[in-house]
């Protein structure tokens, strides 16, 4: 008996002792004979693939039928053997799993050209029997591990498909062990230079990380012992793709700029032990404010449960460290997700699903049975299966992949550039929708067009896709100089009017001094041209021209209890992309707001902020350094705005929700009727900068029924005649 199949038998009997090993052995021999003479691109016998896929599948502790189906999953597709033969020899359940794999075998992700039938197959397979997806994910992992043997264009297609579909589905099912593997394997082919660099830099921290983890484990184990809590402790390092994503999000250039590169995990017996250990950790070490998350009381949608906290003092270098506390059962679910819900009845060799945690999958069975065609199926699909993107459909069933919160304008340009240019409106799921509305997964979008229509520069303020932005800018770049200048003037004037400022003069005098530079008339005109063709936004220009204090309300309204303070608060310090880390300013170099700075970490003092050229950096251990910068220093100012609109039910609610949605505080609202049908809302809000004010005015004018939204200009008092 070959050692590879023996290792499979040994593993499955370790968690399922009553397994019929002879049946699994028979399936292996059957598959080996069926694939006789077939080779993989690597030159290996084909049987190595189902065997290796089965080994990866074993980490989920599947049942006997699932392992057998994994060994046989390519037999029906790649040989003359049919499903009826499989059913007679190994049983109907195995044949059904093989049939599910056969249907998924022809799925290929092709970006915007990918048809809805492929998504339908994936969802229906998940709903009918999740084990098909477990096999498919294990199959994909081994295919990715051996992807180096195929040609480059196929590598790219398969890697994109893996990152866009299979890794998110593994995450949605909570199988994070598979998700991490799939992401790293795909990243290796899609960004080979970045992958190699991150991997090299992570390896460079291995020795110092190992020392820290070893000491931290000893310290935490001692805490467990002192508190009579049964548990184990381990260290966890972020996987390569997640490190890269965080570097991109935070704008970091090096891996060592990430302070939470690794974490300590504590595994205990009961939920009560989790909270007891959390209290003990917080008593011994300093927790960081706003860095605690209770996923036990409020689990994630995929069932993930754990306590997360970030502390200072456990790492000898003084760096903050994330600590995760969970039970052993919670950890099993965190690694295996939906697969952890399958329980094995030894006598019946059957499996059952934890329905409470996976209702979103179970519901797809009923959905599939009720729906006749693809469009109806996906239109009714209201779940967010793929977390980092959405899929929207044309009325004839073509699927487009778009960024989260993409708009109908993004959708139109994704179909075709000319369709985007001539868009005048959109229907989402059969109803008219604003062009700046956010599309949801499964939306059916119909673009309304007029051949004579042209793009609107205002679209640049709300679209999400960079591809869409590029196409719109290209259109306006091709227009004549005079048209772009005129369009730029109109956009700037719109913003000036909203702020209660005078319109542009003939010589654009307001632009004469811009960013501490004196601009010639030609340069001022050039700036307007760039605004007109979309290279620079009108918001950006206005933000650079005015300070929020210039448009603030000078006197608080009578019903405000106390005058708001307008003095600027001290600048906050952003350390490694975080604003909540405790810190001190170094006495040696006395950094001031605006100076280039860096943080040095120490076990006793935490973070100390130094000037970048401070001599302390030459002496300090590089592992103790973190990037630092000065955050925003503008205090909130009281600004009065006026919103004029038609009267309708729910209008005030929509106005308040729009302002609050931008995280802007409302001080008060005074409503006055202009006439029977029109109404004016005088609103006092707290604003930090001109960009924030421009955004809220833009958003308010998009509300149904709102005619104008602008800053309220104080009335000038007339001088009394002597």
Backbone phi, psi, residue 382, to 5°: -115, 20
Measured CA to CA, the distance from residue 521 to residue 511 in angstroms comes to 9
Measured CA to CA, the distance from residue 255 to residue 258 in angstroms comes to 6
**Other C-beta atoms within 10 Å of 561: how many?**
6
Is 219 among the residues known to form the active site?
A: no
Structure tokens at 88: 């007679």
Find tokens 């929207």 and name the residue: 392
Measured CA to CA, the distance from residue 492 to residue 504 in angstroms comes to 8
Tell me how far CA of residue 693 lies from CA of 153, 446, 664, 688, in angstroms. 48, 33, 9, 8
Specify which residues 321 forms β-bridges with: 311
Neighbouring residues of 206: CB distance < 8 A, sequence distance ≥ 6: none
Structure tokens at 504: 């542009």
Structure tokens at 287: 């927790």
Handedness of CA 112, 115, 119, 121 (dihedral sign): negative
**Cβ–Cβ under 8 Å, residues 402 and 111:** no
Q: Is 483 helix (H, G, I), strand (E, B) or coil?
A: helix
Handedness of CA 186, 187, 191, 193 (dihedral sign): negative
Neighbouring residues of 514: CB distance < 8 A, sequence distance ≥ 6: 527, 541, 544, 545
Q: Is 271 helix (H, G, I), strand (E, B) or coil?
A: helix
Catalytic pick from 4, 26, 29, 78? 78
Handedness of CA 358, 305, 169, 335 (dihedral sign): negative
Strands 262-268 and 321-327: parallel
* Eight-class DSSP state of 452: T
Q: Is 634 helix (H, G, I), strand (E, B) or coil?
A: coil
Measure the CA angle with vertex 375, ends 369 and 379; round to 5°: 85
Catalytic pick from 4, 26, 29, 77? 77
Handedness of CA 491, 497, 498, 499 (dihedral sign): positive
Is 183 among the residues known to form the active site?
A: no
Handedness of CA 300, 302, 305, 306 (dihedral sign): negative
Backbone phi, psi, residue 290, to 5°: 65, 15
**Cβ–Cβ under 8 Å, residues 168 and 384:** no
Measured CA to CA, the distance from residue 35 to residue 115 in angstroms comes to 31
Measured CA to CA, the distance from residue 641 to residue 695 in angstroms comes to 13
Measured CA to CA, the distance from residue 599 to residue 624 in angstroms comes to 8
Enzyme catalytic residues: 77-78
């Amino acid at each position: 008996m070959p050692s590879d199949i023996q290792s499979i038998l040994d593993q499955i009997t370790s968690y399922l002792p009553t397994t019929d090993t002879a049946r699994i052995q028979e399936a292996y021999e059957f598959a080996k004979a069926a694939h006789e003479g077939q080779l993989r691109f690597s030159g290996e016998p084909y049987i190595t693939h189902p065997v290796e896929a089965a080994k990866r599948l074993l980490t989920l502790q599947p049942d006997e039928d699932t392992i057998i189906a994994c060994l046989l999953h390519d037999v029906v597709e790649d040989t003359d053997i049919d499903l009826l033969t499989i059913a007679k020899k190994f049983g109907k359940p195995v044949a059904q799993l093989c049939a599910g794999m056969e249907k998924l075998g022809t799925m290929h992700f092709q970006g915007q050209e990918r048809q809805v039938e492929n998504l339908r197959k994936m969802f229906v397979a998940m709903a009918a029997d999740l084990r098909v997806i477990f096999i498919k994910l294990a199959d994909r992992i081994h295919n990715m591990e051996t992807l180096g043997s195929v040609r480059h264009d196929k590598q790219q297609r398969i890697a994109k498909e893996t990152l866009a579909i299979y890794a998110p589905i593994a995450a949605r099912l909570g199988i994070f062990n598979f998700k991490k593997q799939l992401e790293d394997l795909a990243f290796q082919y899609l960004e080979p230079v970045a992958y190699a660099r991150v991997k090299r830099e992570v390896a460079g921290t291995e020795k110092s990380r190992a020392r820290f983890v070893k000491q931290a484990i000893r310290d935490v184990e001692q805490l467990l012992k002192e508190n009579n809590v049964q548990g184990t402790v381990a260290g966890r390092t972020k996987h390569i793709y997640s490190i890269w994503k965080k570097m991109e999000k935070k704008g970091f250039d090096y891996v060592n700029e990430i302070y939470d590169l690794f974490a300590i995990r504590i595994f205990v017996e009961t939920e009560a032990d989790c909270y007891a250990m959390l209290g003990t950790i917080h008593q011994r070490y300093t927790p960081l404010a706003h860095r605690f998350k209770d996923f036990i009381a409020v689990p994630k949608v995929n069932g993930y449960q754990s306590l997360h906290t970030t502390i200072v003092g456990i790492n000898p270098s003084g760096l903050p460290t994330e600590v995760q506390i969970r039970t052993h059962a919670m950890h099993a679910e965190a690694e295996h997700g939906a697969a952890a819900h399958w329980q094995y009845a030894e006598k019946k060799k059957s499996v059952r699903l934890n329905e409470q945690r996976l209702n979103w999958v179970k519901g797809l069975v009923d959905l599939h049975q009720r729906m006749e065609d693809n469009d109806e199926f996906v239109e009714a699909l209201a779940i967010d299966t793929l977390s980092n993107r959405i899929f929207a459909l044309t009325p004839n069933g073509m699927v487009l992949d778009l960024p989260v919160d993409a708009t109908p304008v993004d959708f139109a340009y994704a179909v075709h550039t000319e369709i985007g240019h001539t868009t005048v409106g959109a229907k989402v799921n059969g109803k008219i929708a604003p062009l700046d509305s956010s599309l949801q997964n499964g939306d059916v979008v119909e673009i309304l067009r007029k051949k004579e229509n042209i793009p609107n520069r205002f679209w640049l303020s709300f679209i999400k896709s960079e591809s869409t932005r590029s196409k719109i800018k290209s259109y306006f770049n091709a227009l004549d100089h005079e048209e772009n200048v005129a369009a730029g003037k109109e956009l700037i004037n719109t913003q000036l009017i909203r702020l209660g400022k005078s319109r542009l003069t003939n010589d654009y005098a307001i632009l004469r001094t811009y960013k501490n530079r004196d601009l010639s008339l030609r340069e001022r005109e050039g700036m307007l041209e760039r605004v007109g063709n979309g290279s620079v936004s009108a918001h950006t220009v206005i933000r650079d021209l005015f300070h929020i204090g210039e448009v603030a309300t000078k006197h608080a309204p009578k019903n405000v209890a106390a005058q708001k303070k307008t003095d600027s608060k001290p600048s906050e310090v952003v350390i490694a992309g975080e604003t909540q880390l405790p810190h001190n300013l170094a006495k040696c170099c006395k950094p001031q707001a605006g100076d280039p700075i860096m943080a040095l970490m120490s076990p006793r003092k935490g973070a100390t902020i130094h000037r970048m050229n401070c001599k302390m950096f030459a002496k300090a251990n590089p592992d103790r350094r973190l990037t630092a910068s000065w955050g925003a220093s503008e205090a909130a100012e009281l600004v009065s705005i006026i919103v004029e609109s038609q009267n309708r039910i729910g209008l005030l609610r929509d106005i308040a929700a729009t302002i609050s949605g931008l995280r802007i505080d409302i001080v008060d609202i005074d409503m006055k009727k202009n006439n029977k049908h029109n109404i004016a809302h005088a609103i006092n809000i707290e604003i930090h900068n001109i960009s924030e004010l421009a955004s809220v005015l833009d958003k308010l004018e998009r509300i149904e029924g709102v005619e104008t939204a602008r800053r309220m200009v104080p009335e000038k008092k007339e001088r009394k005649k002597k």
